[in-house]
C-alpha cells in the first residue's frame, strides 16, 4: 500500500492532540518538543527573550512547542538535533559538510514550528470574533509542500531533479556569543548567524535564488565575511526571494517504500521573468533593517540610487576583503 503522507492543511487541523509530523493521536499533553533547540536557548539565554509574532504580539522563545509522539521525538528529531548541534558547535567547516537534506530538515522543523504556533493563535483570535480562520490558497500550497518535505524525517523521500531549496553556508567572523536568527514565513526565507558561520536559505525556490545571485556568489566563494557583509548578503537573498514570483509545483508520487518529489519547470507556460524588477529603494529599506546594529540609515544606503551602499563589493564590483571594511564609528 502506498505511503499516505499527513497534510494538516487539508482541514486546518492544528490541535495539540495530534503529532505535528505523523498526524497520529497523542497519548498525553506531555508529548511535545521545543521548536527552538534547548541547547541553543540555554547557551544564548533565549528562553525568556521576546519573539515578535505576525500579529505584532510577542511570545518568548521557550513558548514555541510542537506536539510530537515520544517515539518520533526519540527516533527522528533527537538524532537530527544532535547531529546539527555537533556541527554547529564545531563551526563553519562541519556545518558546510552537513548534508543539505539535514540542514533543510532542521530549518524546516523550526520554520514549521513557528508557523504551527502562529496559525493556532490566528485560529483562536478568529474564533473569539466568531469568524472562520482562512489561509490563502497560495500559502496553503506552499506550506503543505514544506510539511510534506519535512516528512522526509519519517519516510524515505526521494528528491528527483533540482532540489526544492537554496541553502548556502558562509564563513563569518562573528563574535563568540553572537546569535542572529531571522525568518520570513510567507516567503520561507531563513538566516542564522552564530559562532564562525552564517546560513542563508530559501526553502522553496527550487534553487532559483542561487542562480539569481550566481555572479555575486562566485565573487565571494571561499571568502571569510565580516558580519556586516553577511547581513548584506542576507538582505539581498531575503529581498530577491520576495521578488520571486512563482509558486513552485511538484510531481508527487507516493509508493509502498518511498515518496518521490520532482519539481515542475518554473517557467511553466509564462514567459514572465522569475523575479520581479529590483527596486533600489525597497531593497534599501530591507538592508537598513539588516544593518540596524551599525546604525546605517536608508538615506546613507541609497544616497546614490544607481550604486547603493555595499560592504560586499567595491566600486569595481569586486569583493571587499575583511581588512578593508571601514564601518562608521
One digit per residue, the tens of pLDDT, for the chain of length 329 reads 788 999 999 988 899 999 999 999 999 989 999 999 999 999 999 999 998 887 778 889 999 999 999 999 999 999 999 999 999 999 999 999 999 999 999 999 999 999 999 999 998 888 888 888 888 999 999 999 999 999 999 999 999 999 999 999 999 998 778 899 999 999 999 999 999 999 999 999 999 999 999 999 999 998 999 999 999 999 999 999 999 999 999 999 999 999 999 999 998 757 889 999 999 999 999 999 999 999 999 999 999 988 999 999 999 999 998 888 888 76
Q: Do the Cβ atoms of 192 and 198 come closer than 8 Å? A: yes
pLDDT (0 to 100) of residue 90:
94
pLDDT (0 to 100) of residue 269:
58
pLDDT (0 to 100) of residue 1:
78
The bridge status of strand 179-184 relative to strand 50-52 is unpaired
Q: CA angle, corner 159, sides to 90 and 215, nearest 5?
A: 65
pLDDT (0 to 100) of residue 195:
92
pTM here is 0.95
pLDDT (0 to 100) of residue 53:
81
pLDDT (0 to 100) of residue 200:
98
pLDDT (0 to 100) of residue 329:
64
The grid coordinates listed for 65 are 512547542
Residue indicated by cell numbers 518520533: 72
Q: In the Cβ-directed half-sphere of 130, how many Cα atoms lie within 13 Å?
A: 0
pLDDT (0 to 100) of residue 261:
97
pLDDT (0 to 100) of residue 178:
86
Q: In the Cβ-directed half-sphere of 62, how many Cα atoms lie within 13 Å?
A: 10
The grid coordinates listed for 1 are 500500500
The bridge status of strand 50-52 relative to strand 156-159 is unpaired
Cα–Cα distance measured from residue 67 to residue 72, given in angstroms and rounded to the nearest whole number: 11
Q: Which residues contact 135 (CB under 8 A, 6 or more apart)?
A: 9, 12, 119, 143
79 to 41, 76, 102, 203, 230: CA distances (angstroms): 18, 6, 10, 21, 29
pLDDT (0 to 100) of residue 87:
97
pLDDT (0 to 100) of residue 52:
83
Amino acid at each position: 500500500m502506498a505511503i499516505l503522507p499527513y497534510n494538516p492543511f487539508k482541514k486546518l487541523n492544528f490541535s495539540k492532540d495530534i503529532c505535528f509530523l505523523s498526524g497520529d493521536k497523542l497519548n498525553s499533553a506531555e508529548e511535545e518538543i521545543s521548536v527552538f533547540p534547548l541547547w541553543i536557548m540555554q547557551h544564548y539565554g533565549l528562553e525568556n527573550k521576546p519573539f515578535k509574532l505576525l500579529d505584532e504580539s510577542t511570545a518568548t522563545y521557550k513558548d514555541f512547542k510542537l506536539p510530537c509522539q515520544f517515539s518520533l521525538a526519540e527516533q527522528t528529531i533527537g538524532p537530527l538535533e544532535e547531529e546539527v548541534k555537533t556541527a554547529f558547535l564545531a563551526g563553519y567547516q562541519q556545518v558546510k559538510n552537513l548534508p543539505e537534506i539535514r540542514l533543510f530538515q532542521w530549518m524546516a522543523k523550526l520554520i514549521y514550528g513557528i508557523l504551527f504556533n502562529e496559525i493556532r493563535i490566528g485560529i483562536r483570535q478568529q474564533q473569539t470574533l466568531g469568524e472562520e480562520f482562512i489561509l490563502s490558497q497560495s500559502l496553503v500550497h506552499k506550506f503543505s509542500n514544506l510539511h510534506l518535505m519535512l516528512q522526509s524525517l519519517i519516510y524515505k523521500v526521494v528528491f528527483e531533479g533540482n532540489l526544492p531549496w537554496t541553502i548556502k553556508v558562509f564563513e563569518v567572523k562573528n563574535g563568540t556569543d553572537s546569535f542572529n536568527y531571522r525568518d520570513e514565513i510567507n516567503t520561507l526565507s531563513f538566516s542564522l548567524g552564530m559562532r564562525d558561520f552564517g546560513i542563508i536559505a530559501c526553502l522553496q525556490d527550487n534553487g532559483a535564488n542561487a542562480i539569481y545571485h550566481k555572479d555575486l556568489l562566485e565573487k565571494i566563494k571561499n571568502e571569510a565575511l565580516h558580519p556586516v557583509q553577511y547581513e548584506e548578503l542576507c538582505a539581498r537573498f531575503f529581498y530577491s526571494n520576495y521578488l520571486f514570483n512563482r509558486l513552485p509545483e511538484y510531481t508527487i508520487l507516493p509508493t509502498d517504500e518511498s515518496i518521490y518529489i520532482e519539481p515542475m519547470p518554473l517557467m511553466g507556460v509564462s514567459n514572465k521573468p522569475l523575479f520581479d524588477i529590483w527596486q533600489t529603494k525597497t531593497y534599501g529599506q530591507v538592508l537598513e533593517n539588516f544593518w540596524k546594529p551599525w546604525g546605517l540609515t536608508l538615506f546613507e544606503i541609497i544616497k546614490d540610487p544607481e550604486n547603493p551602499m555595499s560592504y560586499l563589493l567595491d566600486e569595481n564590483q569586486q569583493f571587499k576583503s575583511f581588512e578593508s571594511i571601514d564601518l562608521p564609528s
